[in-house]
Structure formats: structure tokens, C-alpha cells
Chains A and B, each alone.
Chain A
Amino acid sequence: MLFIAAGVTVLVFFLFALFQLVRLFGMAGGVLAAPRPPESSSLRYHVLLTIPESGDPFEDQLLRDFRAALAERKSQQEWDIAVQISERFPFMDSRQSVSRTVQMAMLAGLDGLIVMPPDPEFGTEIENVAGGGLPVVTVGRNAGRTASHVFVGPDDFEIGSMVGQTMAVLAGSPRSVGMLYSGKSLADANRSAVVQGLRSTLISSLGMDIAGIQPVESLYISATLAAEKLLRLHPDLDTVYCDTLPATLGMAQAVIDRNAVGKIRIVGTGMNARLEELLKERVVEASVVFDTREIAETSLDTMNELLHNGTRGSQTAVKVVPYLRPTSVSVRHAPATERTNG
């Protein structure tokens, strides 16, 4: 009996250790032989993709969707396009890194560039590169439409209109609307399509204009300070639109700090776990969510068209895909109790 008990005990430990080793070797093997997309050789076009890594979840999600789209798309080989995803340069901020990458692509004479502008002012640099004959597709963030490059992303004017309509159906009509705008200056804001769309809808639906706009950088701390500034300058605001995730979170924090939850309603942008909580707590009423996968797919399709239609170097032949389809933009509402219009 003792012998059998000892044998069974040893066997149990042996099988347990063996099972664990097989499992760990499998996991470790998965790391060493990291899953990589199927590689194709002898492609025709070398395209560089660069997306800023400023900490904005939208950027991170867009980059992940690009990777996923490239990994899943066997048509990459059918297109004859190899997309090199540029890593952020060390010891540089996001804007500098994107800027250097763009210049590098131009100097190296690559076949195409897919770039997400770090900010609206980046359009000038893109215009310079595109003007040099490099096919460029800008994604996610519009940096000014020109004839020499293509933008694939949300329709800012439509977003502004959608936000205005959302505000109109919130419980209790807004008395005063403000906005945190991700840009450097008020002038830029006034020129931006999203502000124009929002303003147009508010005027037509509620007969009011935007009471105050506060430019903000894409940083959470900066956004909080900008939100407090906006609320301080316009104490009568009861509805605020924020066009980035950091701006939304910053405004929400400012509202919480002022103990004004329910008094100041927020329509934000983007989505993460924190914003999910804020939506449940009704600190944020609604958020504009972008379909990043759709943006990635469309960007690749657009670059393919640019390269295969022989448009390289010819500005006039560049096909402009100005805006993403409206279905790619959705507004996620907080669980409303008094919604009158779905």
C-alpha cells in the first residue's frame, strides 16, 4: 500500500510538472516564434505608415487596427504593396517623430506614405511632401484638404452636426453650449469643420451659437486645465462638447471637481474604460466613437488605388476620398432615462 501510494504521488507530481512544462514551452515557444504575418517577397511598392503615439487611445487603436488589417489581408500581396509601420523614434516627442518619418520617406524616395497628422497644423508638412510627388494618405485626423493628398477619416462637419443633434435631444434643451477644441488657437477652431458643423446645427435646431470655445492640447492635464478655464470664463455653460478623449476626460474631471455633475452635460469623443464608467455614472452624456478598423481598411484601399492608377507624381490625378462614410461614425449614448429620440 505504501509503495502504491508513493508511486501514485510521484506520478501525480510528474504529470503535473510535465503538463506545466508542455504548457509553458508552448507559451514560450509562442513568444520565440512570435506570430508574424505571412511574409511576401518581390512586392512592388514600399509604403511607410506613421501614426503619432501621444497617448491618445484613438491613435493606439488605429495603429492596432492597421496592424490587424495588414496581418489579415492577403490582398497585400495582390496589391503589390508592402507597408512599413514606422516606430516612434526614441528621445523625440510624437510630433517630431512623425515629422522626421515623413521627411525620411520623402528623401528615401519611397512609393507612398500613410500618415496620421499629430495636429491640424501638420498639414503644411504633408503638403510639402505630397507636393514633392509622394502619394500621401492622411488618416484619422484631418489636416486640411488639398488636391495633393487624400484624407481618410471622420467627416468633421458631420460629426459636428451629429453632436449638435445629440445635444438637442438631451433631457432639457441646452441653454449655453461650449467646446474644448483640440487645436492651438481659437482661429483654427473657428475654421475647423467640426465647429462649423456643430454651430450650424445648434443655430438651426436650437437657435443658439457656441458660447465658448477653448483650444486644448491632447494631454489629460492640459485638458483639465483648459476645461476649468472654459467653465470659469463661461459659468453659465450647461452643455460642453470635447473633440478628443483627453479633452473629454479632462472636462469630466473638472465637472466632478466643481460638483456639477448633472448640471453640466458633456458630449465627448473616443472610448476607454474610464469613459465607460463616466457614461454609466452620467457624468458624460454621450461620446463620439470612430470606427478605426474601417479607417485603416479604407486607407489601405485608397493607397492601393493611388499607386495602381499611376498617379504618383501627378497631383491632378490624385483621387480624393475626403470623408469616411457616415456609418463609420457613431454616437454612443449614456443610459438615458428621458431620451425622446433614439
Chain B
Amino acid sequence: MGRPRSAPLSIRTRMVLYFFAALIPLTAASLASFTFSQGLLRSARSMFDSNLFLDSLSDAITNVDGSLREYLNSRNSDMLPLYYRDSFALQRNIAQLPDTITTNQHELSLRLLRQLLIRYQEEADAALNAKRGRLVPDYSDHYRLSLRLLDYIHLLVLNMNWVDFMGSLNEYLNFSQWFARIQLYEMILVATVALGGVLLIALLSYRLTRPIAVLADQAATIAHGEFSIPDFEPDGASSEVRRLAEAHNSMKHSIATFIDELKEKSAIERELMEQHIQNLRMKGLLNAAELMALQAQINPHFLYNTLNIGLQLAVVENARRTTDYLDRLAEVFRYTLSSVDKAVTLKEELDALSAYIYVMETRFGSRITFEVNASPDCADVRIPPLVIQPVVENAVHHGLSNLEKGGFVSVTAQHVNNQTRIEVKDNGSGIPPGRLDELLTHDFSAEGMDSAFKGRTSGHGIGLANVVHRLRLFFNRDDVVFIKCPSQGGTSVVFLLPLQPEKEMKHV
């Protein structure tokens, strides 16, 4: 029992997934590179901002020192406003410096600078005030100290810039050594993503088009009438292709079923047509046989009616033998005149034959002996009517009629090897070989029948040929009648009839 298959993805979903699979790593790498570049830039910008601020501080304190020096060296107060202006500017710069004590080294340095600046400003103010108070030694001391502080402040600013620069430089150097490698691997990443994209597109197009191509091949095969190909199983295909495949398979089955039905119907129609043609032929033969019988017996109905009158007279006159004779003869006529287009049982055929034999025995007396032996289990075998009597008649008229005595005709019927074997055998003169071939290959077309009737005075056996042809048609096979004429004389006509006729004739 396999794992339940998950629902196939649609073409759109697959394309979106492939797209993201290719794009996300590239985007991530680019974003990371961008972020770190920005970080480096921010670091450099921060360093430059810090440098600029410290430089402005140096400028401010230099200005203060300049204006203070000029004031101290002058004899008037003209430079005093300038000093205050510079001093105010310095104060604004000092106000930007942090006064909080933190563990951040840079902020501690700024605070140290702030402390020095404040101290400087105090000493500068003290020098100025001493000058205004004309306390020369004091302002000289304060000014010297301010100069010393100025020196330290410049030194500290220089040091801070230097430290910032070295720190940023180290940061940059550290980063740059990785940046080159980062660029290299980014190139590799981009190249692999591009190649992977190409492969993914190739894979996508292959997986999309392969089932469709297979489907097209199958459709072409089906178009050539080959429906036995296996169903198309689009493993791993998209949902759209799967639906297409299901529709294709369903359509294939529908068409195959429809064609099979058409073939079957066509076969049935063909068989029916063949049966119809056989029936027509059989009817033609029967008509021919009937015509021959009528011509042979002039007018069987007239004779039958006449015989009936004779039979009534015989009954009235109490002529028993005559009565029996006429009764059997009438039976022969009745059977002959009965519907000839329906199959009869062997029993019915043999009953009619016994009437005929009675008539013949009456006619020929002891010259011909008749013997009928039929197995009871053959009674229900269905055969065309008037197939045994014509053979017996043929034996009597063409084989035994010239015999003065000792004529013998036997009729046997039995099941042999899943067949019904009916044999009419006589000890007459037999049938000439040429005539025998003619009987078995007689032409029952209209022209053939005309020819047969025209030559009737010179040759007999049309009835036997008719029987042969009707049996072949009835059983739809040629090997049903066998005629043997041994050299010592006599004729054996054997019907080998299938127990189950392949196609039983309803109308014979």
C-alpha cells in the first residue's frame, strides 16, 4: 500500500516556486552585501562626522585663543567682543559634548575633552578678567595654563581622530579582506543561480512538455486505429496535464468501445445478410425441386385430390389393399406438397419415407427390398425436408429399376462421433464417375437449372444434386454429403450432419 500521493501542483504554482527558488538566494546574497556595504559606509560616515566635529572644536578653541591673545596684547577692549563671540561659539560646541559617564570609550574621551575645554575656558576667562583687573602676573599664569590646556586639547583631538582613523582603517582592512572573497563567492552564487535558473527552466519546460508530447504520440497512434496501447500515466505532471491525460484515456476507451460495437454490429449484419442470401438460394432450390416435382407429377394437387376420391371409393368398396396404397401415396403427396421452407425432424422425414417405400414396395414387389434403421436418439435431428426420399427415389429409378430381382435399399441413421450419420445404400448399378462429379458440383443458377431440365431425358440425378446443395446450404459447410460408388456396384450416399447446426435455418 503506497503512500497517498499529494495533489499535483498546477503549472502556475510550479513556475512561481521555480522562480522563487532561483530568486530568493540571489536576493538574500544581494541584500546581505548591501547591508554590510551600508554598515561600512555608516562607519566611515560616522568617523568623518566625528572628525569634522572635533576639527570644529579645534577651530573654535583656536579662535578663542587667538582673540584672547589679541585682547591680552592690546591696550584697549576692542577685541573683547570678538573674544566673547568666540567664547560663546566654543560654549555651544562644549554643550554638544557628553557629560554623562558611561563605559563607552569614545564617550569617555569626549567627556575628557569636555572637561579640558571647560577648564580651558575657565583659565581663559580668568586670564581675561585678570587683564581687565590689571593683575598682570595672574593673567600671565592663567594664560600660560590655558596654553598648556590648549596644547593638551589639540593633542587629545589629534589622538581621538587618530584612534578613530586607525579604528576605521582596521575595520575597513578587516572587512576588505573578506569583501574581496565575498565578491568572489557572490559571483559564484550569481553564476550558479543563473545556471540553476537555466536548468530549472529546462527542467520545467521538459516536465511540462514531455507528458504533452507523449500524449500527442498516443493520440497519433490512436488515430491509426491502435487502441491497445496502455493508459497514459503522467507521473509527476501538473494538474492540468493530469486532467488532460484523464480526458485522453477516457476518450480512448470510449472510442475503442464504440468501434468494437460497430464491428460487432457490422459482423451481425454481415451474417444476417449471408443467411438471407442462403435462404434465397435455398428457396430457389426448393422452388426448383418443387417445379421438378410438379412437372414430374404433372399436377400433384390434382393427383392428390384425385387420389383422395379414389381412396374414398376404395373405402366404400372395402378394398383394403387399395385403400392402404392410396392412403400412403396420398401421404407422400401431402408431404411433398407441405411447406418445404421449414426444417423437419428426421422422424418426420422417415415417416414420409416409409409411406414412399410402401408405395415403391407395392410397385416393385419383391424386386426391391427396403430397410430403414434409425436410432431413436436421432429422431429429433432437424434437417431440410425431402432430402432422404429423393436419394431413395434416385436409387430406385437409376440404380435398381432395371433389376428383375434382388434390389436392396437400406436407410440407416445413427449418431457417430458427435454427428448424425444417415446413409442410403443400394446395390444398384451405381453412378458413372463423370455423373458423380456433376452431381456434386452441379450449377444451381438459373442457367444451370434450365440446362438440367433440358437434359433431363438423357440424364437423371437432378434431385440428388438438389439435395446435396440444400444440405450444404442448410449446414453451411461442404462436407455433409459423401457419395461412394464401389467398382463392384451399388451406391452409398452418406449424410454426415452436425448434431448442432451452426446456424439453424428457420426458412429452408
Residues of A within 8 A of B (CB): 3, 6-7, 10-11, 13-14, 16-18, 20-21, 24-25, 27-29, 31-34, 36-46, 48, 70, 76-77, 82-85, 87, 89-90, 100, 103-105, 107-110
Interface of A is mostly: helix
Partner of A14, one of B104, B149, B192, B202: B192
C-alpha gap A275/B36 in the complex (Å) = 42
Q: Across the interface, which residues of B come within 8 angstroms of A85, CB to CB?
A: 105
Report whether A41 and B102 are in contact in the complex, using a CB–CB cutoff of 8 Å.
yes
Query: Shortest distance in angstroms between B260's beta carbon and chain A's nearest beta carbon?
Result: 42
B171 at the binding interface (Cβ < 8 Å): yes
Q: Across the interface, which residues of A come within 8 angstroms of B192, CB to CB?
A: 10-11, 13-14, 17
Instruction: Report the nearest A residue to B42, measured CB to CB.
Output: A32
Which B residues between 140 and 155 are near A, CB-CB below 8 angstroms?
148-149, 152, 155
Beyond A17-B188, A32-B40, A90-B159, whether A104 also contacts B152 by CB under 8 A is: yes
C-alpha gap A37/B108 in the complex (Å) = 14
Instruction: Report the nearest A residue to B115, measured CB to CB.
Output: A108
Report whether B111 and A46 are in contact in the complex, using a CB–CB cutoff of 8 Å.
yes
Which B residues between 87 and 128 are near A, CB-CB below 8 angstroms?
100-105, 108-109, 111-112, 115-116, 119
Query: Shortest distance in angstroms between B236's beta carbon and chain A's nearest beta carbon?
Result: 15
Report whether A24 and B181 are in contact in the complex, using a CB–CB cutoff of 8 Å.
yes
B222 at the binding interface (Cβ < 8 Å): no
18 extra interface residue pairs, beta carbon distance < 8 Å, beyond A32-B39, A100-B152, A104-B156: A3-B203, A6-B195, A10-B192, A11-B192, A14-B192, A14-B196, A17-B189, A21-B185, A24-B178, A29-B36, A31-B174, A77-B103, A84-B105, A87-B159, A90-B159, A107-B116, A108-B112, A108-B119
C-alpha gap A32/B149 in the complex (Å) = 35
B378 at the binding interface (Cβ < 8 Å): no
Report whether A107 and B188 are in contact in the complex, using a CB–CB cutoff of 8 Å.
no
B182 at the binding interface (Cβ < 8 Å): yes
Query: Shortest distance in angstroms between A164's beta carbon and chain B's nearest beta carbon?
Result: 43
Q: Across the interface, which residues of A come within 8 angstroms of B188, CB to CB?
A: 13, 16-17
B25 at the binding interface (Cβ < 8 Å): yes
C-alpha gap A237/B159 in the complex (Å) = 47
Q: Across the interface, which residues of B come within 8 angstroms of A46, CB to CB?
A: 101, 108, 111-112
Beyond A18-B25, A43-B101, A90-B162, whether A84 also contacts B108 by CB under 8 A is: yes
Report whether B202 and A3 are in contact in the complex, using a CB–CB cutoff of 8 Å.
yes
Q: Across the interface, which residues of B come within 8 angstroms of A109, CB to CB?
A: 115, 119
Report whether B152 and A107 are in contact in the complex, using a CB–CB cutoff of 8 Å.
yes
Partner of A82, one of B25, B36, B108: B108
B43 at the binding interface (Cβ < 8 Å): yes
Residues of B within 8 A of A (CB): 25, 29, 32, 36, 39-40, 43, 100-105, 108-109, 111-112, 115-116, 119, 148-149, 152, 155-156, 158-159, 162-163, 171, 174-175, 178-179, 181-182, 185-186, 188-189, 191-193, 195-196, 199, 202-203, 206
Report whether B149 and A107 are in contact in the complex, using a CB–CB cutoff of 8 Å.
yes
Instruction: Report the nearest A residue to B153, measured CB to CB.
Output: A104
C-alpha gap A18/B159 in the complex (Å) = 41
Q: Across the interface, which residues of A come within 8 angstroms of B112, CB to CB?
A: 46, 48, 84, 104-105, 108, 110
Q: Across the interface, which residues of B come within 8 angstroms of A39, CB to CB?
A: 102-104
Q: Across the interface, which residues of A come within 8 angstroms of B115, CB to CB?
A: 108-110
Cβ-closest 10 pairs across A and B: A108-B115, A84-B108, A14-B192, A17-B188, A43-B101, A17-B189, A32-B39, A31-B174, A17-B185, A20-B185
Report whether A25 and B119 are in contact in the complex, using a CB–CB cutoff of 8 Å.
no
Partner of A103, one of B105, B152, B185: B152
Query: Shortest distance in angstroms between B324's beta carbon and chain A's nearest beta carbon?
Result: 102
Report whether B119 and A107 are in contact in the complex, using a CB–CB cutoff of 8 Å.
yes
Partner of A76, one of B32, B103, B104, B191: B103
C-alpha gap A25/B203 in the complex (Å) = 32
What are 27 of the A-B contact pairs (CB < 8 Å)?
A7-B199, A13-B188, A13-B191, A17-B185, A18-B29, A20-B185, A21-B182, A25-B36, A29-B36, A31-B175, A31-B178, A32-B171, A38-B103, A41-B102, A42-B102, A46-B108, A82-B101, A82-B108, A84-B112, A87-B162, A87-B163, A90-B162, A103-B152, A107-B149, A108-B115, A108-B116, A110-B115
Beyond A42-B100, A76-B103, A82-B101, whether A90 also contacts B116 by CB under 8 A is: no
Q: Across the interface, which residues of B come within 8 angstroms of A107, CB to CB?
A: 116, 119, 148-149, 152
Report whether A18 and B101 are in contact in the complex, using a CB–CB cutoff of 8 Å.
no
Beyond A13-B188, A84-B108, whether A32 also contacts B43 by CB under 8 A is: yes
Query: Shortest distance in angstroms between B61's beta carbon and chain A's nearest beta carbon?
Result: 14
Q: Across the interface, which residues of B come within 8 angstroms of A104, CB to CB?
A: 112, 116, 152, 155-156
Beyond A28-B182, A39-B102, A41-B100, whether A34 also contacts B171 by CB under 8 A is: yes
C-alpha gap A37/B104 in the complex (Å) = 8
Report whether B105 and A27 are in contact in the complex, using a CB–CB cutoff of 8 Å.
no
Report whether B32 and A21 are in contact in the complex, using a CB–CB cutoff of 8 Å.
yes
C-alpha gap A44/B112 in the complex (Å) = 14
Query: Shortest distance in angstroms between B175's beta carbon and chain A's nearest beta carbon?
Result: 5
